[in-house]
Structure 1
Amino acid sequence: MDIGTVVAFLAVDLLLVLTPGADWAYAIAAGLRGRALLPAVAGLVTGYAGYTLLAVAGLVVIVAGSPHLLTALTVLGAGCLMWLGRGVLVRPATPGADTKNMAGTETTADTGRRTMLRGAGISGLNPKALLLYFSLFPQFIDPAAGWPVATQTGLLGTLHMACCAVVYLGVGLLARTALTTRPTAARAVTRTSGAMMIAIGGFLLVERLA
């Protein structure tokens, strides 16, 4: 795999990652919660790590070629997005706020784990990510390049995860910096993020089931 192919992939991949969506909405909401940003981004990247492993194993092609399995993933992913979006609408983040359980005793470690798991759910259950790996990666993989296909797939997946980590961290930090002294605006942005999750989930359901 030559450097020109890698650069071309990075250019296309960055354009896709820079397009706002459910990942952005979650990163913004996490950024407003202070310490939740790092576990949130780690969770989002973990979801894509799962797709990378599937792609390396060749299972992405199998899943993408199974209409029933893809529909099941779409329904599950859309439901997850809508459920998380509802939670964000009900409990909008404010700058520096820490999530607590009903008894108010949830530890920072517990909060971090839950935030990471939710992030992994958002990216890992998003069928659009599956189609991204299925449709974009093959265009940049050359079986005659001298590298094993699995190695090329792993490299592209790693580059995609790196782009996601950098962009989502930047989005979260920007949201925190711009809104840290504006709690009212922060709540409005968070509610907008939650509404985006619900809208994206609804769109995925309609698009797949229509």
Structure 2
Amino acid sequence: MDFQQLAGFAAVSITLAMTPGADWAYCISSGLRARRVAPSVAGLCAGYLVHTALIVAGLAALIAASPGLLTGLTLAGAAYLLWLGISTMRSWRGAGFTDGSTTPVPAAGAEAEPAGAEGSGSSGSGSVALAVRAPVRSRRAVERREFLKGLGTSGTNPKALLLYLALIPQFVDPAAALALPLQSLVLGLSHFGVSVLVYTLVALGARRLLRSRPAAARAVTLASGILMVCVALVLLGERLLLLA
């Protein structure tokens, strides 16, 4: 593998990452609703690491050659995208922040804790510590959920796996000193890096442009959900046509 091959793969990888699809839809919706976009982007790109691992281990070819396994993956991916798309569409009314801020507003009915309510001594310190730790645990749970959603979006997408299977072998060199599995790993990691950059820019761009525009944010959120549902239906339709 030489620099020319890597440059060619990088160009194709950038083109693929910049093509709007389910990944873009998830990035945009995440940029509008999440405090941090890193967990969502990390989850999406981790899905491509899964595909890379399958290629390196030689399992991707087995999945592609097995109609039953490929159908199962397609059904799982389509069902997940349907669920995620419908969930996004249902949340469109709350998309965006009317004041352009990213600071959450306390829930209705919540009142500030009066001064001195923490008491004194060790019991008061314990109450304060618990009050501090609870939001941290809640934030971590949300970020973990965002990561898993991203992982499910890309990791269960059979088109991404088949694309890897068709694309990567075109850029490996059997005569190179580096073993073929390691060449595949290098290419997969290259696409991972490109995806991290592009998806982060998409998510942050959506946040910057739409957070202070509630009407536009709601419209884009609704469109993102519709796009996910359409991708899911296309996956199902293509698979049903192949099985017919």
Q: State the TM bucket, normalised to the shorter chain.
A: over 0.9
In 1, Cα distance between equivalents of 2:53 and 2:35: 28
SS in 2 for 1:53: helix
Which residue of structure 2 lines up, in the alignment, with residue 30 of structure 1? 30
2:77·2:158 contact (CA, 8 Å) conserved in 1? yes
Using structure 2 for the length normalisation, give the TM-score: 0.81
SS in 2 for 1:118: helix
Find the partner of 1:120 among 145, 151, 162.
Answer: 151
2:96 is the alignment partner of 1:94: yes
Shift in Å, 1:94? 2.2
Which residue of structure 1 lines up, in the alignment, with residue 119 of structure 2? none
Distance 1:97 1:123, change over 3 A: farther
Shift in Å, 1:142? 1.1
Q: Could you say which structure has the greater relative contact order, defined with CA pairs below 8 angstroms and 6 or more residues apart?
A: 2
CA deviations over 1:154-205 (Å, ceiling 9, x no partner): 0000001111110000001111111121011101101100000000000100
Taking the TM superposition and a 5 Å limit, the aligned residue runs for 1:144-155 are 144-155=175-186
1:81·1:122 contact (CA, 8 Å) conserved in 2? yes
Q: Aligned Cα RMSD in Å?
A: 1.6
1:88·1:190 contact (CA, 8 Å) conserved in 2? yes
Shift in Å, 1:139? 0.3
Taking the TM superposition and a 5 Å limit, the aligned residue runs for 1:38-117 are 38-92=38-92, 93-95=95-97, 96=102, 107-117=138-148
Structure 2's unaligned 5+ residue stretches are 105-109, 111-134
CA deviations over 1:64-86 (Å, ceiling 9, x no partner): 11111111101110010010000
CA deviations over 1:132-160 (Å, ceiling 9, x no partner): 11100000011111110111010000001
SS in 2 for 1:143: coil
Taking the TM superposition and a 5 Å limit, the aligned residue runs for 1:13-28 are 13-28=13-28
Q: What is the percentage of aligned positions where both structures have the same residue? A: 47
SS in 2 for 1:165: helix
SS in 1 for 2:37: helix
In 1, Cα distance between equivalents of 2:4 and 2:29: 36
Structure 1's unaligned 5+ residue stretches are 99-103
Shift in Å, 1:35? 2.1
Using structure 1 for the length normalisation, give the TM-score: 0.93
SS in 2 for 1:52: helix
Which residue of structure 2 lines up, in the alignment, with residue 143 of structure 1? 174
In 1, Cα distance between equivalents of 2:180 and 2:36: 36
In 2, Cα distance between equivalents of 1:208 and 1:47: 21
